[in-house]
Structure 1
Amino acid sequence: MTTARRISGTTIAAHAVLMTYTVIALFPVFVILINSFKTRRAIFRDPLGLPNEETFSLIGYQTVFRQGDFVLYFQNSMIVTVVSLTLILLFGAMAAFALAEYRFKGNTLMGLYLALGIMIPIRIGTVAILEMMVSTGLVNTLVALILVYTAQGLPLAVFILSEFMRGVSDDLKNAGRMDGLSEYQIFWRLVLPLVRPAMATVAVFNMIPIWNDLWFPLILAPAEEVKTLTLGSQVFIGQFVTDWNAVLSALSMAILPVMVLYVIFSRQLIRGITSGAVK
């Protein structure tokens, strides 16, 4: 009874802390949204005020759709993000299962090697990556961004998923083997459903850096037909003049997919974050 109360109290506390951080994190989003529906003068005069009859304006959204191919930018960002996340979760889960399930010579070293990507930022190798993409003819393609983001997200995915997979009952997996399940079936049918909270956590943590990244799209895919949403929004930011209405409108629309993903995976995300605290 005491243990159950302690677990329940820990879960409630984790939920409260997460909700507090969510409110704090959403406040800048709220400010961006309300200012995207205001005139330029109202943005600077009263940035925290809600739009009213005098200050309400859609000029920013009109400018976004008139001057830039926003639909194409949005489509490119969606393709890059969805494909990258799919590859990260697939290959990360497979590598994590191998490290957690099988004991072989060099297992620890392999785990440390895969975890090095967490400590060493991939941007350090920008020049080498660019040379590699040029030599393979992948510059100004979405494939280049997908490959880079997949490599960027795999270390964290392997690190998180391997810890969760080590917690899966060996008796359950051995029972599956006795029932004639192959290792692939054990992976797909037994292990993956049990680590869905960890998968959701990895997906959310990787989506935000991929969706909001400006560096690699600017270096590897600056062409108009493959611009991502973040890079395409920079057209409204000039050296001397910035169209703040358009910038805030573009950012407001760019935020929506992240918010939708968070709402969809919020329950699994909370389970993934709090599971280690209630063991």
Structure 2
Amino acid sequence: MGQYVIAYLFAVISLYPIFLMLLSSLKTNIEIFKNPMALPKIWSLAAYRKLLDQLPYFDYFGNSVMVSVISVALILVFGSLASFYIARYNFKWNSALFFFFLLGMMIPIKLGIVPLFMLMKTFGVLNSSLSLIMVYVAIGIPLSVLILTGFFRTLPKELEEAAKIDGCSDLRVLLSIITPLMRPALGTVMIMNFITVWNDFFFPLIFIQDEAKKTIPVGMLTLFSEYSTDWSVLFAGLTLSSLPMIILFAVASKQFMEGMTAGAVK
């Protein structure tokens, strides 16, 4: 009984900021400062209407969705292929290759922002969503290789051997036999990388100058003025931007939990 009380307490503490953000988006600025913790006296969607009038919010939203979906899809594809190769094939440089991918987690990529900027300029992809996708895929692959390689190694090789006897190629084995069993791991990689890409502020600020190509974190920066900030509009934007992450986690939460706890019990 006590463990459930503690679990519910942590759930309330975790969810309360989201609830407070939603309430603040339905208040006026005066109400936010006078009674920040109270319910709105008058429930109003004026902040949402003002947000859509002030900013091309749906353009920002569409850019964020496009960059996040493409980046995560490429991370899952390349991460799965690399992990399958490392986990299932024994060759001389197997450990060195795995360590090479792990170096991507050990070295902060932001330390190389100047060379990255020059590289994107050389490729001609500055001020383009492609520059963001390339960086996010490079950031996400090391973690996906670490997670997926460990999961591949837990799967029995007999499944693959039986499929190869039936005439399946290695790629067919991966797509038809292994991938369905890897849904918990793939769900974990998907959620973790989607949150990272969706919330990133640094790289869009550096690589994107065109207003129409900005993502939500950078686009909403215009809501902060030098002398005052319309907090109700800001909270409205934050509420809308958090919806995809909430929906994604609600849909893939089962796979995420299984992926995080797999291997904990023998």
Q: CA deviation at 1:24?
A: 3.2
Q: Counterpart in 1 of 2:113?
A: 126
CA contact (8 A) 1:14 1:274 kept: no
Q: Counterpart in 1 of 2:83?
A: 96
The 3 A distance-change label for structure 1 pair 16 and 116 is farther
Does 1:231 find its partner at 2:218? yes
Does 1:198 find its partner at 2:205? no
1:52 partner SS: coil
1:277 partner SS: coil
Question: Letter of the aligned partner of 2:29 in structure 1?
Answer: R
Q: Report the count of equivalent residues.
A: 265
Question: Letter of the aligned partner of 1:76 in structure 2?
Answer: N
The 3 A distance-change label for structure 1 pair 230 and 16 is farther
Within 5 A, what are the aligned runs for 1:149-168?
Answer: 149-168=136-155
Q: Counterpart in 1 of 2:70?
A: 83
Distance 1:16 1:113 in 2: 44
Distance 2:32 2:152 in 1: 49
The 3 A distance-change label for structure 1 pair 141 and 90 is same
* TM-score, normalised via structure 2 length: 0.95
Q: Counterpart in 2 of 1:42?
A: 31
Question: Letter of the aligned partner of 1:52 in structure 2?
Answer: K
Question: Letter of the aligned partner of 1:112 in structure 2?
Answer: F
What is the identity percentage for the equivalent residue pairs of Structure 1 and Structure 2?
A: 38
Distance 1:157 1:24 in 2: 30
Distance 2:38 2:114 in 1: 45
Does 1:117 find its partner at 2:104? yes
Q: Counterpart in 2 of 1:106?
A: 93
Cα deviation code 1:70-122 (max 9, x no counterpart): 11100000000000000000000000000000000110010011011112121
Distance 1:153 1:19 in 2: 32
Distance 2:125 2:3 in 1: 44
Does 1:144 find its partner at 2:116? no
Does 1:33 find its partner at 2:11? no
Question: Letter of the aligned partner of 1:149 in structure 2?
Answer: Y
User: Which residue of 56, 61, 70 corresponds with 1:74?
Assistant: 61
The 3 A distance-change label for structure 1 pair 179 and 193 is same
Question: Letter of the aligned partner of 2:239 in structure 1?
Answer: S
* TM-score, normalised via structure 1 length: 0.90
Distance 1:14 1:186 in 2: 42
Distance 1:66 1:125 in 2: 38
1:276 partner SS: coil
Of 126-135 and 255-264, the range deviating more from structure 2: 126-135
| Ranges of 4+ aligned residues in structure 1 off by more than 3 Å | 13-24
Cα deviation code 1:169-195 (max 9, x no counterpart): 111111111111111111111111111
Q: CA deviation at 1:162?
A: 0.3
Distance 2:5 2:257 in 1: 11
Unaligned runs of 5+ in 2: none
Distance 2:141 2:199 in 1: 18
Could you say what the CA RMSD is over the residues aligned between the two structures, in angstroms? 1.9
Q: CA deviation at 1:25?
A: 2.8
Unaligned runs of 5+ in 1: 1-12
Question: Letter of the aligned partner of 1:185 in structure 2?
Answer: R
2:262 partner SS: helix
Q: Counterpart in 2 of 1:8?
A: none
